Chains A and B, each alone.
Chain A
Amino acid sequence: MSGDAVETPLLEVRGLAMHFPVSEGIVLSRKVGDVKAVDGVDFAIKRGETLGLVGESGCGKTTTGRCILRLERPSAGQILFDGQDISGLGRKDLVALRRRMQVIFQDPYSSLNPRMKVGDIIAEPIKVHGVEPDANRRRARVRELLSICGLDPKFADRYPHEMSGGQRQRVGIARALALDPEFIVCDEAVSALDVSIQAQVVNLLEDLRERFRLTYLFIAHDLSVVRHLCQRVVVMYLGRIVEMADCDELFDNPLHPYTQALLSAVPIPDPRVEATRDFRPAPGEVPSPINPPSGCVFHPRCPMAVEGCKRARPVLRELRPGHWVACSEVQ
């Protein structure tokens, strides 16, 4: 590794925005506004890194992931994957791209076709992309993928409903690995799993990252899992980045009032710790992205807000090396 700043990131997002039109009326439908799901987001992911993308419902983390995967065409901005801007690519070019980037979804129940055998589910991307035309070798590859993901190769002949949630999620992971991708978006990949199974899948994701030198965008709302798995973390609120830092720095020294509120809201599984914690939940709720507050979008809930926060939208500033905060009050 060159180990200096010259190394280009595997993925870079610049000024990414995704606006969905809001229409009114059934017969004469007219556009009355935009939902600014993602509203100007910049970040980069280095090769081999896991970037955590956290925030509550409606903050735009999933839409950001979908834009990067080009399941959506972004309204504005650039998405540089390995140096190439993929934000405007057409169908044909996207096919080649999709071999290199894959996704693991949240719900292992709805993301696997119930009428397909597990082996066929995993073999499908290999078939679609014409990677391995020979059926026997394809079957061998499926068996290999199953065992990589900690499943008995015999599971290839089973249907998803015959498996537990954790096993199904392993199938989803095997499918994502089938094309040897470089980059995987994990969209709430462990959120639907039971506590006792979650840790198994987290460990598997870590093993795979090392073994295949994968790069992850790990989208999640569970902060303790993000802290465990990620090297860097981006916190989003209402379509914008409010804070971005190395993982340890973000969790040890959160600077944005929203990040602080988010962290203090997570209950710690220890009654003695909980008894001593100062606990003040952030007031109010996330406002509508159709008509977001002026200036800093967090100001109506912010304990530090001053008059100026209602007017100017704060820019992301680097307050410490590698630690970016979008708040005009934090120094």
Chain B
Amino acid sequence: MSALLDVRNLHTEFRTGAGLVRAVDGVSYTVDPGETVAIVGESGSGKSVGAMSILRLIPDPPGRITQGQILFDGRDLLRLSQVEMREIRGRDIGMVFQEPMTSLNPVLTIGRQITEVLEQHQGADRLAAERRALELMEMVGIADTGRRLKQYPHQLSGGMRQRVMIAVALACNPKLIIADEPTTALDVTIQAQILELMKQLTLRLNVALIVITHNLGVVARYASRVNVMYAGRIVEAGSADAIYHDPRHPYTIALLRSVPRLDQPRRARLDPVDGQPPDLTRLDGGCAFRPRCRFAVEQCGEARPALAPTGEAGHFAACFRSDELVAARDVAAREVAA
């Protein structure tokens, strides 16, 4: 089976007052049809810029995609014209953003926001589009659809707005949905509802999903494969099970260990990741995580390690020491447990 999306060696740069920022610095990954892939990282890791690059929504200037290929259904999105790209956005690739208040148009009714996509991409007439809009709203769990159709975004709660965003994203039967922190602005119980909805719908409609998030719990519940990003690069990639139970990059290990878990006994102290996040204008030729890494050796300052196979098939880590790391990691885990 060939991949639905194949991102190859993507580079996206921003020219800022402080210097050149390589927000995405050579990222490659694939998404199969119907698969849910998570991209995990902290602020500035490049996870959102990477996704926006797929849709070619990088503001230029200051940003620019400088290198790479984005093969979607066999076509390189970076070679398409603006007009062709507009056809793809919203039709083949749907989007769900973090802030449903700012990503919906405040002066259009909910109904209009959904029918607009249908008229634009499928040439549907008003009536057919409205019928389909009602259907979509029902599908995303909005009650009283007739009334909601005529309402404006400000009359809806955050959770409802996010449901509308999902309806818009699904309107044209896309093959892929990119969801950028879809539940970060929502309360826990609403977050759970929205995530469950997205999971069910993507399964039922066989839509592939890229979830971009910083929340390790959300990833564990929903993704089959995970890419961990740090300072513009993927530092570890693999199945969710491998990432959580056999992490091979010091950053992933440290990240997983730093979060308190509700299902485990309370610990006396948390074990944080040392140091500060990297300043992307001041990266040198070495591994970007080196200043915070407990396993760093001289070699780490000489070159940035490439993503290399480790552990089970399909598991990759960008660390010179990923194989020897396993022993040290397990010893540390036993100490914590004891």
Number of chain A interface residues as a range: 35 or more
B271 CB contacts on chain A under 8 angstroms: 199
Alpha-carbon gap, A164 to B245, bound state (A): 31
- With an 8 A cutoff between CB atoms, is A221 at the interface? yes
Scoring A residues 272 to 303 as 1 if CB is less than 8 Å from chain B, else 0, what string do you get? 11100001011101100000000000000000
- With an 8 A cutoff between CB atoms, is B215 at the interface? yes
Of the candidates A199, A202, A261, A270, the one whose C-beta lies within 8 Å of that of B263 is A270
Q: What are 26 inter-chain pairs, A to B, with CB distance below 8 A? A: A56-B188, A164-B276, A167-B276, A194-B277, A196-B258, A198-B272, A199-B271, A199-B272, A199-B273, A200-B274, A221-B187, A225-B260, A262-B188, A266-B217, A267-B215, A269-B220, A269-B261, A270-B220, A270-B244, A270-B261, A271-B244, A273-B220, A274-B217, A274-B220, A279-B196, A282-B193
Given A196-B258, A267-B221, A273-B263, 4 new contacts (CB under 8 A):
A56-B189, A223-B262, A228-B267, A279-B196
Query: Given A196-B42, A199-B270 in contact, is the A224-B262 Cβ separation under 8 Å?
Result: yes
Question: How many residues on chain B are close to A (CB under 8 Å)?
Answer: 46
Of the candidates A56, A199, A266, the one whose C-beta lies within 8 Å of that of B258 is A199
- With an 8 A cutoff between CB atoms, is B266 at the interface? yes
A267 CB contacts on chain B under 8 angstroms: 192, 195, 215, 217-218, 220-221
Query: Given A56-B189, A164-B276, A194-B43 in contact, is the A224-B261 Cβ separation under 8 Å?
Result: yes
Alpha-carbon gap, A228 to B258, bound state (A): 12
- With an 8 A cutoff between CB atoms, is B255 at the interface? yes
Residues of B with Cβ closer than 8 Å to A? 42-43, 157, 159-160, 187-193, 195-196, 214-221, 240-241, 244-245, 254-256, 258-263, 266-267, 269-274, 276-277, 292
Q: Within A157-209, which residues are at the interface with B (CB < 8 Å)?
A: 164-167, 194-200, 202-203, 206
Whether B261 and A203, one on each chain, are in contact in the complex, defined by CB atoms closer than 8 angstroms, is: no
Whether B277 and A271, one on each chain, are in contact in the complex, defined by CB atoms closer than 8 angstroms, is: no
Q: B-side binding surface: helix, strand, loop or mixed?
A: helix
- Output the least CB separation between A40 and chain B (Å): 22
Whether A282 and B269, one on each chain, are in contact in the complex, defined by CB atoms closer than 8 angstroms, is: no
A200 CB contacts on chain B under 8 angstroms: 272-274
- With an 8 A cutoff between CB atoms, is A46 at the interface? no
- Output the least CB separation between B16 and chain A (Å): 13
Whether B256 and A269, one on each chain, are in contact in the complex, defined by CB atoms closer than 8 angstroms, is: yes
- With an 8 A cutoff between CB atoms, is A140 at the interface? no
A228 CB contacts on chain B under 8 angstroms: 260, 266-267, 270
- Output the least CB separation between B319 and chain A (Å): 16
Query: Given A196-B277, A270-B220 in contact, is the A203-B259 Cβ separation under 8 Å?
Result: no
Can you name the residue of chain B whose Cβ is closest to the Cβ of A265?
Answer: B192
- Output the least CB separation between A224 and chain B (Å): 4
Alpha-carbon gap, A283 to B42, bound state (A): 31
- With an 8 A cutoff between CB atoms, is A131 at the interface? no
Whether A285 and B159, one on each chain, are in contact in the complex, defined by CB atoms closer than 8 angstroms, is: yes
Whether B189 and A281, one on each chain, are in contact in the complex, defined by CB atoms closer than 8 angstroms, is: yes
Whether B245 and A272, one on each chain, are in contact in the complex, defined by CB atoms closer than 8 angstroms, is: yes
Can you name the residue of chain A whose Cβ is closest to the Cβ of B262?
Answer: A224
Query: Given A221-B187, A267-B215 in contact, is the A206-B269 Cβ separation under 8 Å?
Result: yes
- Output the least CB separation between B284 and chain A (Å): 18
Whether B187 and A224, one on each chain, are in contact in the complex, defined by CB atoms closer than 8 angstroms, is: no
Whether A227 and B260, one on each chain, are in contact in the complex, defined by CB atoms closer than 8 angstroms, is: yes
A111 CB contacts on chain B under 8 angstroms: none
A253 CB contacts on chain B under 8 angstroms: none
- With an 8 A cutoff between CB atoms, is A57 at the interface? yes
- With an 8 A cutoff between CB atoms, is A251 at the interface? yes
